[in-house]
Amino acid sequence: MEEEEDLDDEFEDAYETIPRPSEMDLETAMQEARTAVHLFFNNRFDEAWDMLKPWVGSSMYHTIGNSVFCFMEAVLTFDPASIQKTSEALKQSVALCNFFRKKRNAINSIGKYVKKTNYDNYTPEEIHAELCYAEALLLKALLTFIEDETLPKSFFESSYKILICCFRECQIILNSKQWVNDSYKLHFESGVRMGIGAFNLMISLLPSRIIKLLEFIGFSGSKDTGIEELVTCYESRHGLRHILSVMTLLTYNLIVVYVLSRSEGDLEFCDEILKEQMKLFPDGAWFLFFKGRLEFMKGNIVESNNWYVKSWKSQQVWPQFHHLCFWDLMWTNIVRQEWNEALFYANKLMTESKWSRSIYGYQKVCLMLMIKTDLSIADHQEIDSIMSNIPKWRQRIAGKSLPMEKFCAKKSERYFAQNKNLVLPCFELLLVWNLFKVVGKKWELCDALYREIEESIRKLDAEAEGPLDADNRALLLLLKGACLNQMGKPYLAEEALKGVSALAKKIKEDNYLVPYSLVELAMVYQQQNDLERAIHLLEDTRKNYTGYSLESRLHFQIHSSLMELNKGKKISSEKMCKPNNQPSTSQF
C-alpha cells in the first residue's frame, strides 16, 4: 500500500500526539455524537461543541464530529483562518483513526489485502476506524474542492487513490462481515452509504479533463449511484449519518445544481425532506435557510425572503450563518430589481463577512450603479474608492486567486476605462451566477428584466460608438438571449445569441461572452429537443475556447449539460429501437 504509506508520512507528526485509548466506549461515543448533531441543528451550537471537546483527540466519533463542525464553519465563512482550523482538525482525525485501525505492516497491496482479510476478526473499534478514516479523507478532499474550483493536480496526487480504496474497503466490510451488533451495523452502513454517495456525487460534477484522470486510475463517479446511496442513507432514519445525508441532498439539489449546472434540482423531493426535518428542528437555522432556498428556486420571492429572515433571526450564536442568509436576500431582491433593499444586504456582507471583500465590494458598487435616482457626491466618491481597491483586496487561498475575484478586478478596471460606467452590471452578475433560470420561473420577473435590457440596447444605439462598444453590445445580446430563452421564445433567443458570435472579432476585453453565449444557445437547442445540435455545440465550445474569465465555472456547466443530453439521447434511441409490443427491460 504505497499510497497509504505516503499519506501516513504526511500525518507522522500528528501520530506522536495521540494519547493512549480513552475509557470512552464506542456505543457511548456514537450516542454522544448523534446527540451533538441534533443539538447543533437545533441552534444549540455551544452545547454541541461542549459535548465533543472533552474527547477530541481520544475518541474517534468526537474527533470526527469536531472536524465536521469545523468544516461547516469553513464552508460558511471561506475565512482562511477557518479553513486552516478545519485542515488541522482533519489532520488530527486522520491520525487518530489510523491509531485505532488494524495494523497492516505485512501487507504489500490493497488487492491482496482485501482478498485475504477476514473482517470478522476485526474489533468494532477497528471496523469503525476504517469508516471514520475514509470520512476524514472525504472531508479533506471536499475542503480542497471548496478552496479552488480549478482543482489542482495535487488533489489527485495526495489522498485521492486512498480515498477510493478506503470506501471500497468499507463497502466490502459492510457486505462480508457477520454482524452481531445491529447498532454497530446500522451506524456503519449509514456512514458507508453517506460516504460513497457524497463521493460519487462530487466526482460526477467534475469537468471531463479531470474525469479522464480518474478513469486512468480505474474510477469514475456516477451521479445516479451517488443519489441512490444518499437516499438509502436518508431513509435509514436512526443511522448516525442520516442528518448528514439530509444536508448533502439539500445542498446538492438546492445550491450545487444551480451553480455548477444548467439543470434543475429535485424540488419535490427537497420539499418532502424539509417537511420532515422542520418538524424535528422547527427553529433550526439550517432548515429555515433551505426552506427559503427552496422557495427561491421555485421563483416564490416573497415567501423566500420571509424564510431567509426567519433563519437569520433564529440564532445569534453563529453570526457567520447570517451571511449565508444575507447573500441570498441580496439576490432575491436583485431579481425583483429592488436595488435599495439588495444594497442593504450587500453592505452588510461587505462590512461583516470575511470571505471576499473584492466580490462583496464589487456587488455593492453594481447595486449603487443600478439605482436610477441621482447619486450624491459622497456616493460617487465611495464607488470610485471601492473600485480602486477591488484589485488590491484580492486574496489567495491555497496559493491561488479566486476566479470570481479576478472577474471583479477586471470589471473595476473597466469601470474607469468606460468613463466611470458599467452596462447593467447586476444583470451580468445574475448571468455569471447562473440565476437566469430562477428568474424564468416567473413571467413578471423575466419580463421586467427584458424591458431593462431592451432599454439599454436602445440607449447604446443612440450613443456615439466607443472603443468598447462591441463588448457592451455583446453583453446586452447575451442577456437578451438568456432572457428570451427563459420566456419561451427560442427563435428570438437564437437570433440574439448568434449576434454575440458575430461580434467575436470586435470584442476587446470580455472574451468570456462568446463561449457563454454558445452554451446558452445549446440550451435553446435543448429546449427545442434538438439534442444532437446541442451536444455538438457544447463539445465544440469546450474544445475551441480557452483562457477566458470564469472558464472553470462554465466547464462545470458544459460537463453536466453533456451528461444530461447524452443520457436523454440514449433514452430516446432506446425508445425508437424498441418494438411497440416489447416490454421495457426494467420490468424483468
Taking a C-beta distance cutoff of 8 angstroms, is the pair 119, 42 a contact?
no
What integer is the mean pLDDT of 562-588? 65
pLDDT bucket at 203, cuts 50 / 70 / 90:
confident
The percentage of the chain sitting over the pLDDT mark of 90, rounded to a whole number, equals: 73
Domains in the chain with CATH codes: 26-103+121-139 (no CATH), 151-260 (no CATH), 423-566 (1.25.40.10)
Least confident of 11-20, 117-126, 215-224, 299-308: 11-20
| Top-confidence residue, 73 or 587 | 73
pLDDT bucket at 163, cuts 50 / 70 / 90:
confident
Write the pLDDT tens digit of every residue in 518-527.
999 999 999 9
Helix (H, G, I), strand (E, B) or coil at 328: helix
Asked if residue 162 has pLDDT above 60, the reply is: yes
Write the pLDDT tens digit of every residue in 350-360.
999 888 999 99
Asked if residue 113 has pLDDT above 50, the reply is: no
Write the pLDDT tens digit of every residue in 481-520.
999 999 999 999 999 999 999 999 999 999 999 999 999 9
Helical (H) or strand (E) element with 397: strand 396-397
In this structure, what is the dihedral angle of CA atoms 484, 489, 494, 496, given to the nearest 10 degrees? -40
List for the chain the helix, strand, coil content (%; round to 5).
75, 0, 25
Asked if residue 290 has pLDDT above 70, the reply is: yes
Please state, in angstroms and as integers, the Cα–Cα distance from residue 468 to each residue in 109, 332, 337, 422, 566, following that order.
60, 31, 26, 11, 38
Mean pLDDT across the chain: 88
pLDDT at residue number 115 = 54
pLDDT at residue number 77 = 73
pLDDT bucket at 316, cuts 50 / 70 / 90:
very high
The percentage of the chain sitting over the pLDDT mark of 70, rounded to a whole number, equals: 85
What integer is the mean pLDDT of 113-124? 79
How far is it, in rounded angstroms, from Cα 470 to Cα 476?
10
CA atoms within 13 A on the CB side of 54: 11
What integer is the mean pLDDT of 155-162? 54
Asked if residue 581 has pLDDT above 80, the reply is: no
Write the pLDDT tens digit of every residue in 218-258.
556 789 999 999 999 999 999 999 999 999 999 999 999 99
Asked if residue 575 has pLDDT above 80, the reply is: no
How far is it, in rounded angstroms, from Cα 534 to Cα 521?
8
What integer is the mean pLDDT of 128-157? 74
pLDDT at residue number 63 = 97
pLDDT bucket at 588, cuts 50 / 70 / 90:
very low
pLDDT at residue number 459 = 95
Q: Which three cell numbers stand for residue 442?
A: 416567473
| Top-confidence residue, 20 or 331 | 331
| Top-confidence residue, 2 or 61 | 61
pLDDT bucket at 79, cuts 50 / 70 / 90:
confident
What integer is the mean pLDDT of 371-396? 92
Asked if residue 401 has pLDDT above 90, the reply is: no
Q: Which three cell numbers stand for residue 225?
A: 449511484
Please state, in angstroms and as integers, the Cα–Cα distance from residue 371 to each residue in 89, 337, 342, 533, following that order.
45, 9, 11, 40
| Closest C-alpha to 549, from 512, 501, 495, 577 | 512
Taking a C-beta distance cutoff of 8 angstroms, is the pair 509, 468 a contact?
yes
pLDDT bucket at 213, cuts 50 / 70 / 90:
low
pLDDT at residue number 526 = 96
What integer is the mean pLDDT of 370-374? 84
Least confident of 396-405, 454-463, 555-564: 396-405
Least confident of 177-186, 294-303, 407-416: 177-186
Taking a C-beta distance cutoff of 8 angstroms, is the pair 408, 432 a contact?
no
